[in-house]
Amino acid sequence: MLAEGESMAGPALCAANTAAAQTLHRVSGFVENKTTQCSFSIESILGLEQKKDGIPAVKPHRPWMDARTSLVLGGDSNPHLQIPVVCYENPLFQANSDPVQEEKVLKCEKYFSVTERLSFKRELSWYRGRRPRTAFTRNQIEVLENVFKINSYPGIDIREDLARKLDLDEDRIQIWFQNRRAKLKRSHRESQFLMVKNTFTSSLLE
Amino acid sequence: MLAEGESMAGPALCAANTAAAQTLHRVSGFVENKTTQCSFSIESILGLEQKKDGIPAVKPHRPWMDARTSLVLGGDSNPHLQIPVVCYENPLFQANSDPVQEEKVLKCEKYFSVTERLSFKRELSWYRGRRPRTAFTRNQIEVLENVFKINSYPGIDIREDLARKLDLDEDRIQIWFQNRRAKLKRSHRESQFLMVKNTFTSSLLE
DNA sequence: TTTTAATGTAATTAT
DNA sequence: ATAATTACATTAAT
């Protein structure tokens, strides 16, 4: 098991590596020195319980680090802090559980840079257990938009129909319509706000 | 008068502007043209009765728009015709809707003083529908970094507190933490990738 | 050129 | 179902 400070590499990562107690101490000192301008309370910042020795009871919520570290460096002891590792479609780590196959891939390192970019892009979604971001095609978007103009609350049957015709999961359709409604609502709210504001402005010029 | 592309913050906003009849016509044409791949029926999509002239008999269910639209605009019948005006609060855009004036402003840029050029840049940003880039002070960064070390997911109360103490909008705080997390994650991902790659490389040399 | 504030949106979570 | 929030890709300002 690695110590917390050893589990990361790179200078930029030092920000999150400092032991919690030390960090807490430093911030406390900062707050105490500059009283008026920056005197927010540690408690409100943490929003958490903390032990009296200055060590917070709960680790910062950084799922990507926990999952990745335990995966690559040999496993973490606390499964509750783990993010489910769903090896979706990372070609580098998923498909080749066979060591012979792995070696084969490794020896073809000149091709490594070819797949490098792809696996790199998918790496995040992959280890985090999150669905890879769906990239809708232009045609899919067009159809969805056209349907949305007519019916922004399609029932399950329509969604299933769309899913078949567009070669998408019905879940994706559902989510898309939810977000599309949110988007329309947002833009409408903003325009309304501007209209009210302009009304006020106009009335002021009279 | 501004061209259509310039009058909105993004192309995505154009989606909801087409008249319903036209929309329906377009969708019908689309279905008829691409028979095999996208041939869902309009009836099943609508789930509604519709008149033969192509105008749906029933309004789409959009409770959030209907109420306020009728309130401010005096009861518009067709919510699809609403154009979301997203020009935020651009003083240039609002005050000088006259194209001659705008051109005058643009041509005189080189005669502006430093501060005037700054404000011009700001106005240009607004004109383009993008918030002017916030330049955080050293002290603001320091406080934000210190908080980030302890809690990289500050809740609304902490963000509001920070906004007050640092004299920033809460939105800026939110965005800063989002970008800060992305930065940390990116550097972490890169170092991890190098680790994995080096591990493989080492195993090749055995 | 590099860093990072800002934006858009798919996905998730909580109410 | 909606609103808030997050991750992530991208744009653009410094």
* Percentage of chain B exceeding pLDDT 70: 36
Please name the member of A13, A39, A195 whose beta carbon is closest to the beta carbon of B184.
A13
Provide the pLDDT for residue B204: 78
Provide the pLDDT for residue B36: 33
Per DSSP, chain A holds a count of helices (H) and strands (E) of 8, 0
Q: Which nucleotides in chain C lie closer than 7 A to a protein CB?
A: 4-12
Secondary structure (DSSP) of B60-110 = ---HHHHHHHHHHHS--S-GGG------TT-HHHHH---HHHHHHHHHTGG
Amino acid in position A37? Q
Provide the pLDDT for residue B60: 43
What digits encode the pLDDT tens for the residues B59-79? 344 434 433 333 232 222 222
B39-50: b or e for each residue (b if 16 or more CB lie within 10 Å)? ebebeebbeeee
**DSSP β-bridge partners for residue B50:** B56
**Cα distance between residue A70 and residue A63, in whole Å:** 11
Q: Determine if strand C comes within 7 Å of the CB of B133.
A: yes
Please name the member of A27, A44, A166 whose beta carbon is closest to the beta carbon of B157.
A44
**Cα distance between residue A34 and residue A38, in whole Å:** 6
Q: Name the band, by pLDDT with cuts 50, 70 and 90, for residue B184.
A: very high
Chain A residues 106-145 within 7 Å (CB) of strand D: 121, 124-125, 128, 130, 133
- Identify which of A173-182, B15-24, B60-69, B105-114 has the greatest average pLDDT: A173-182
Neighbours of A37 (CB within 10 A): 10
Asked if A139's CB is within 8 angstroms of B30's CB, the reply is no
CA distances from B51 to A197, B44, B136 (A): 38, 15, 58
**Cα distance between residue A187 and residue A73, in whole Å:** 46
CB-based contact B189:A20 (threshold 8 Å)? no
Which residues of chain B make contact with A44, given a CB cutoff of 8 A? 157-158, 161
- Which of B86, B153, B192 is the best mutation test for A, with the most CBs of A within 10 A? B192
What digits encode the pLDDT tens for the residues B92-151? 233 333 333 334 433 434 445 556 655 665 555 554 567 889 999 999 999 999 999 999
CB-based contact B75:A178 (threshold 8 Å)? no
Provide the pLDDT for residue A199: 74
B199 vs A90, residue with greater confidence:
B199
Average pLDDT of B15-23?
32
**Cα distance between residue A49 and residue B160, in whole Å:** 20
Average pLDDT of B163-185?
92
Q: In Å, what is the separation between the CA of B145 and the C1' of C4?
A: 14
Per the listing, tokens 């008829």 go with B32
Q: Name the band, by pLDDT with cuts 50, 70 and 90, for residue A22.
A: very low
Q: Determine if strand C comes within 7 Å of the CB of B168.
A: no
- The pair of structure tokens assigned to A71 is 């995966």
**Cα distance between residue B4 and residue B11, in whole Å:** 10
**Cα distance between residue A176 and residue B23, in whole Å:** 19
**Cα distance between residue B129 and residue B9, in whole Å:** 5
**Cα distance between residue B64 and residue B81, in whole Å:** 15
Provide the pLDDT for residue A180: 85
What digits encode the pLDDT tens for the residues A84-142? 222 223 222 222 223 333 333 333 233 333 334 344 434 433 334 456 677 788 888 88
- Across A183-187, B129-133, B157-161, least confident range: A183-187
